[in-house]
Chains A and B, each alone.
Chain A
Amino acid sequence: MPPTNLRNSRLLHRASLGSATSRRHFLQFSAAALSGVALSNCARNLSNAGSSPASSPTNSTANKTLHIYTWANYTDDELLRGFQDRTGIQVVVDTFDSNETMLTKMQGGGGKAYSIIYPSDYMVEKMIADEMVAPLDQSRLQGTDRWLPQWQDPVYDPGNAHSMPVVWGTTGLIFDPGRVSDPIKGWDYIWQNVDQLSRRITLINDVREVMGATLKYLGYSLNSTKPAEIEAAYNELLKLKPAIASFITNGWEDQLASGDLTVSMAYSQDAIYLIEESPNLQYIVPETGSSLWTDTMVIPKTAPNVDAAYEWLNYMLDPENSAKMVERLKIATPNEAAFEKLPTNLQQDQNLFPSKAILAKSEGIAPVPQAITDLYERYWTQLTSS
């Protein structure tokens, strides 16, 4: 298997230090923290002093190129060619492997060329707080009124004032229907069948995802701040302990395909990809609801080519383009107009687009006060280390 356990740096901020974050993660994380505080200030001072002309480079050519900073697989040649045909602007794509890398590079001043960046939900929040992204001029955008309800006013960026959601997904369960006694609809199956599932399930290695799923199962909010509810969730998870083979985000794929594992908790994107290869597997979003993650597009304050950035946002808002992108790249769009343009088989693909009823019960993971974070972490450490 190719490198595993790395993908999830998107959610690193929620992972406790006590859990098995890899060394590289820790480095990235501490780099983001350290350099953010110390180095960026110095870089900013130096560069502000020396390079005010550099921020407006040769205008005639700059307007013809748009630099974007994104995840691999979120763009492809067809998408870029379509944009060039329409606007005459050439797109140069650079990729990052984690939000933390992206943040550090931006704070270090290495992102001055980028007019569009693709941070994840929690990172948008942080970048807004750090005043790194420019508010979006809604009058320059067409078609922003057609978001699915969950993205009309997201917790990470109220009113989508600074960011535009572009890709989203869920957290759920993946399993082989041929290997379970009755069809799995949600988390209750796991709790009811703990005896048969001895060391045959894996959970994501992330405190808020696992605790959140349990809170949902108990009927509470994913972002509960009530100590009693959190304790109840912990006690439920303790009952599950004999069934849990490990807490891993990636790396369960082989064992699940071969039948050594019965059920794995997974991000929808991983599951969709896996099912393409092993069609006998099935992914469900628990009927009690799940967590939602979102990747967005923002325009950084340092953007050299704001006009082209708005062109790009409008291009991505275009339902036709969004729909084609969903078809080619198998990623879910929050744009309802684009959703309507999709072929029926994709519209009904429950893995990409869970039913509205389930969506309505789902929430994004929102930050909680420090004391509550500590509480989550404490239970998580007890759970994962016992």
Chain B
Amino acid sequence: MNIAPSAAKPSFSWQFVVTLLMYGFMYIPILILAFYSFNAERFSANWGGFSLRWYVSLLNDSRIQSALLDSLRVAFTAVAVSAVLGTMMAVGLAKYRFPGKGLYRGISYLPLIIPDIAIAVATLVFLVSIGLSLNIWTIIAAHIVFCLAYIAVVVSTRLTGLNPHLEEAALDLGATPLQAFMKVLLPELMPAIFSGCLLAFVLSMDDLLIASFTAGDGANTLPMEIFSRVKTGVKPDINALSVILILVSGFLAFLSEYIRFRSERRRFRQ
């Protein structure tokens, strides 16, 4: 589709300014953080020269590393489980009619609006009353609750924009329901599932309250470790850690986009 270009664009449009402001608003704090992670000084007020000392101190800090591992373990497991369940839930809600459907939909999205602290305390009380002992799996279970809701919401919005006849056409052409789902519906939903997963992953990595209340048996997520350290002082090695995390997640996002791009090109060629 080609929109006729509007007559000679001004070189400095207001759209450009707004875009620049928005990007600045989003990314300048991150750039500053990255910049100061190389500061030899403890305080951002003074620039003490380039140094990798905070990266070295991060490497020597086994507690931070184990906390990071716990966080990643929780986030990956919770997101993986929620991706499957959330997609199934969204598809099921879109496809089928059953009594109490509205109520089901409403309840399943509740974790989006209930404050974290309420989920945290309720989950704790529930876990205790059924006699489960707390460990890393209870954090994962609690995180699945809200990850599920986020992924389901994102997938649902994508589903409403899809052409419902595509799947029916596949069925008409002799695909089994499973094949139709896997080969027609799922590829169409993939971008939504993926962005839902990213959103849920970030929220899971970020969560302090729910993890605090459901952790046990030595499981200690990154936010718990950092906030507990605030009492005795947080060092800029946290900045270094953030930079590493941003780079790694940026790389992962790039990689997945690249794979998607390649597969899409292949699809167009066929």
Chain A residues with CB under 8 Å of chain B are: 1-4, 6-7, 10, 27-28, 31, 35, 39, 42-43, 46-47, 50-51, 54, 57, 67, 71-73, 77, 92-97, 101, 104-105, 108-110, 112-113, 250, 253-255, 257-258, 260, 269-270, 273-274, 277-278, 331
Q: Does B217 interact with chain A (Cβ within 8 Å)?
A: yes
Which of A50, A57, A253, A260 meets B129, CB within 8 Å?
Answer: A50
Complex contacts, A39 vs chain B, CB 8 Å: 121-122, 125
Q: Does B218 interact with chain A (Cβ within 8 Å)?
A: yes
Identify the 10 closest CB pairs spanning chains A and B, nearest first.
A277-B42, A258-B45, A109-B128, A46-B129, A72-B228, A97-B227, A273-B233, A2-B234, A92-B218, A95-B228
| Nearest opposing residue in chain A for B36, CB measure | A1
Which of B117, B219, B226, B236 meets A27, CB within 8 Å?
Answer: B117
Q: Is the CB of A50 within 8 A of B45?
A: no
Beta-carbon contacts under 8 Å, B27-50 to A: 41-46
Q: Is the CB of B44 within 8 A of A31?
A: no
Q: Is the CB of A72 within 8 A of B134?
A: no
Q: Is the CB of B232 within 8 A of A110?
A: no
What's the A-B contact tally at a CB cutoff of 8 Å?
147
| Nearest opposing residue in chain A for B115, CB measure | A27
Distance of A273 Cα from B229 Cα, bound (Å)? 12
Distance of A10 Cα from B227 Cα, bound (Å)? 12
B106 → chain A closest CB, angstroms: 24
Q: Does B204 interact with chain A (Cβ within 8 Å)?
A: no
A118 → chain B closest CB, angstroms: 11
Complex contacts, A270 vs chain B, CB 8 Å: 233
Q: Is the CB of B43 within 8 A of A108?
A: no
B194 → chain A closest CB, angstroms: 30
Complex contacts, B42 vs chain A, CB 8 Å: 257, 274, 277-278
Known: A28-B117, A254-B44, A254-B45. A269 touches B133 (CB 8 A): no
Beta-carbon contacts under 8 Å, B229-244 to A: 229-234, 236, 238-239
A132 → chain B closest CB, angstroms: 15
Known: A27-B115, A105-B124, A108-B124. A113 touches B46 (CB 8 A): no
Q: Is the CB of B212 within 8 A of A105?
A: yes
Which of A7, A110, A254 meets B127, CB within 8 Å?
Answer: A110
Q: Does B147 interact with chain A (Cβ within 8 Å)?
A: no
Q: Is the CB of B121 within 8 A of A113?
A: no
Known: A3-B227, A253-B43. A96 touches B212 (CB 8 A): yes
B240 → chain A closest CB, angstroms: 11
Could you give 13 example pairs across A and B, Cβ below 8 Å?
Answer: A10-B231, A27-B209, A43-B124, A43-B128, A67-B216, A72-B228, A73-B228, A73-B232, A101-B213, A108-B124, A109-B129, A113-B216, A274-B233
Q: Is the CB of A105 within 8 A of B213?
A: yes
Distance of A35 Cα from B117 Cα, bound (Å)? 10
Name 11 extra pairs, CB < 8 A, besides A46-B129, A47-B128: A27-B116, A47-B129, A67-B217, A72-B63, A77-B62, A95-B220, A95-B228, A109-B129, A260-B45, A269-B232, A273-B233
Complex contacts, A31 vs chain B, CB 8 Å: 117, 120-121
| Nearest opposing residue in chain A for B232, CB measure | A73
Known: A43-B125, A97-B208, A277-B42. A110 touches B214 (CB 8 A): yes
